[in-house]
Amino acid sequence: MPNIDPRLVEMERQNREFWAARTARLSEQMVDVGLRATAFRILEEEHPRVPIRYRRTLEQALDDAEEYRKILIPTPEGEVNRRDSQTAAEIGRIGERAKRPDPLNDLISEIAAKKPRADSDQVAPYPAWRK
């Protein structure tokens, strides 16, 4: 058996550890729909204007997307918000709709409760309509 330099053995061990951790992190990041979409958007935007040699890798784009998320959607602890998505539309679906006062809807509901079969001709002369 040839005599192998222990420094090379140690470098090989560190290399394996690094790529095992990086592969696990990549898999975790790719599961997150919003993070993945943001990373692909980053890559698409630089595609026409950055030479291939200087473009980001998928791993770099995912890390950048994660950093953007920290800025845009911070948690109280300052950690990354681990929701399935970060797009504004999807974040908006998480909470309830704001209750807004709408006098017309209140009036329609009131009329419908009193006269379930009322049509528009019967509703128009309704006294509260003229207020």
pLDDT band at 80 (very low <50, low <70, confident <90, very high): very low
What's the rounded mean pLDDT across residues 83-112? Answer: 66
pLDDT at 84: 45
Instruction: Return the sign of the alpha-carbon dihedral for residues 44, 47, 50, 52.
Output: positive
Nearest to 22 by CA among 73, 60, 66, 74: 60
pLDDT digits (tens, 9 = 90+) for 11-43: 999 999 999 999 999 999 899 888 899 999 999
| Residue environment code for 48-71, b if the CB has 16+ CB neighbours within 10 A, otherwise e | eeeeeeeeeeeeebbbebbeebee
- In the chain, where are the structural domains located? 6-92, 100-131
State the pTM of this model. Answer: 0.51
Above 90 in pLDDT, residue 73? Answer: no
Above 90 in pLDDT, residue 61? Answer: yes
Please check whether residue 28 is in contact with residue 35, taking contact to mean a CB–CB distance below 8 angstroms.
no
